[in-house]
Structure 1
């Protein structure tokens, strides 16, 4: 059974309490939480480890990882991508406890989108790739690779003005939000698209 040590939870939630008072507060809180969840087995405590009972509880982050970590069908990938709604717990952005998991989930999402997008582009399924990149940007609007994918697809469909519009949107967003310019790779792609749009 994997989980979190009860003493670690007690120290995190009741840092100023004496050991006995912390244990008592933990026991009362655990009882209340189980009652609130209306399932006494939802939270398991075994040998000092506290965990969710996965037979009772469903957790989106765990489902997302399982769908992407196992050999998967297109349907599994679609379900996993639908689960990703952007950065995990964005309101806790400054909390170190959530940073590692947030970055891990983001990397998996990014890797999967780039892989699928590349496959769609290779098979010249431009509109499917456009739809994928747009969905990805809805979940995380600060990933430059998604913008480049959109630009390439619009360029391949001779929809150059839309490709240029994507670049300009990315440039504005990055400047305002991050205070940075797009990468040289994005700039080169933009220049190539822009030169194709110019009359001969």
Structure 2
């Protein structure tokens, strides 16, 4: 075996590097468990997150220029992109000399030889699995998947870069998906008679979406069934205030009826 063949064999046998990236909540990049640093601000992080969440197809140079510098001249936007790519590659060179972001033709993307673990991909995957179990009536399996998804959601997308424009829509989409997951998890806990768990989850839901009236009602029932009707009545006031403040409406007859029943100390 000649030297070239021996090198090729050793390269083939070497396992691919694992790039793990967290973009939900605090931004974190590791390569084979070693954190990459020197990001120097939100733009490098934002550009890397964009490239990883727009992999099919890889974005072109013009797409990146429009996404990040829409008001700049083409020349200025191109220069800004080159500076940002340089900063991104410099940050990644703290963990490897191998190029992670590569250029093919006019498009930028992740080196296909690098394995990627991305938290938003995993979050979506566990949510899909949870929904399948939920629809199939496999409650315990659904709960496990929803809990894994909840654990992956460490915060909103690129939470440390609140002024970037492109994440606004996906940030809200993933935030609402997380709230939906918590709501489903609360409903499953409630159905299983785990009222303390259901109450805690419901409280997180209405904190993120104060106008979910059905979740307010579930929280009221949880409090009542745990022998805390006073908390249920307070929750009704919180619900009514949120509905009026955000939507200009009163609570529904169903919510009002539940409130009256709890006031009369009737079982709910």
Q: Deviation string for 1:95-140 (max 9, x for gaps)? A: 5x434323422342233223222222222121221222234445x1
Q: Could you say which residue in structure 2 is the equivalent of 1:147?
A: 216
- Measure how far apart 1:53 and its partner are: 6.4
1:67 matches 2:136: no
Q: Could you say which residue in structure 1 is the equivalent of 2:11?
A: none
- Measure how far apart 1:30 and its partner are: 0.7
- Measure how far apart 1:88 and its partner are: 4.4
Write out aligned runs for 1:122-161 (5 A). 122-137=191-206, 140=208, 142-144=210-212, 145-161=214-230
Q: Structure 2: where are the runs of 5+ without partners?
A: 1-54, 134-140
1:171 matches 2:240: yes
Distance 1:83 1:181 in 2: 35
Q: Which has the higher helix share?
A: 1
Q: Could you say which residue in structure 2 is the equivalent of 1:50?
A: 108
Distance 1:63 1:46 in 2: 27
Deviates more, 1:51-60 or 1:71-80: 51-60
Deviates more, 1:3-12 or 1:46-55: 46-55
- Asked whether the 8 Å contact 1:92–1:98 carries over to 2, the reply is no
Distance 2:221 2:150 in 1: 22
Q: 1:61 to 1:186 in 2, by over 3 A?
A: farther
Q: Which has the higher contact order (CA 8 A, sep 6+)?
A: 2
Q: 1:112 to 1:34 in 2, by over 3 A?
A: same
Structure 2 length as normaliser, TM-score? 0.57
Structure 1 length as normaliser, TM-score? 0.72
Q: 1:7 to 1:79 in 2, by over 3 A?
A: same
Q: Could you say which residue in structure 2 is the equivalent of 1:80?
A: 149
Q: 1:165 to 1:99 in 2, by over 3 A?
A: same
Q: Deviation string for 1:174-198 (max 9, x for gaps)? A: 555x26345314333323322337x
Q: Could you say which residue in structure 2 is the equivalent of 1:118?
A: 187
Q: Could you say which residue in structure 1 is the equivalent of 2:82?
A: 27
Q: What is the number of residues matched between the two proteins?
A: 192
Q: Structure 1: where are the runs of 5+ without partners?
A: none
Distance 2:116 2:175 in 1: 23
1:180 matches 2:248: yes
Q: What is the CA RMSD across the aligned residues, in angstroms?
A: 3.4
What secondary structure sits across from 1:50 in the alignment?
A: strand
